[in-house]
Amino acid sequence: MAGEKPSVELCKGVNGLDKVVLRDALGSSAEVYLFGGHVTSWRTDHREELLFVSNKAIFKPPKAIRGGIPICFPQFSSHGNLEQHGFARNKFWSIDSDPPPFPSDSSSKTFVDLILKPTDDDFKIWPHRFLSFSQQFLLLVCHFVSCFLFFFFCFLIMLDSFLLQVASTCVNKYLIFYYSYEFRLRVALGLGGDLMLTSRIRNTNADGKPFSFTFAYHTYFSVSDISEVRVEGLETLDYLDNLKERERFTEQGDAITFESGVDKIYLSTPTKIAIIDHEKKRTFVLRKDGLPDAVVWNPWDRKAKAMPDFGDDEYKHMLCVEAAAIEKPITLKPGEEWKGRLELSAVPSSYCSGQLDPRKVLQG
Active site residues: 218, 322
Rounded Cα distance between 229 and 257, Å, is 6
Largest CA distance in the chain: 87
Tally of residues, the chain: 364
Distance in angstroms (rounded) separating the CA atoms of residues 234 and 267? 9
Which among 168, 43, 190, 211 has a CA at the least distance from the CA of 106?
Answer: 190
> How many Å apart are CA 12 and CA 234, to the nearest integer?
39
Candidates 78, 172, 92; CA nearest to 124 is: 172
How many CB atoms within 10 Å of residue 219?
A: 27
d(CA 204, CA 83): 23
Query: CA angle, 201 as apex, 199 and 202 as ends, to 5°?
Result: 150
Strand, helix or coil at 140?
A: helix
3-state secondary structure of 15: helix
CB 338 within 8 A of CB 306: no
* Backbone angles phi and psi of 158, in degrees to 5: -65, -40
- Asked whether 265 and 327 are in contact (CB, 8 A), the reply is yes
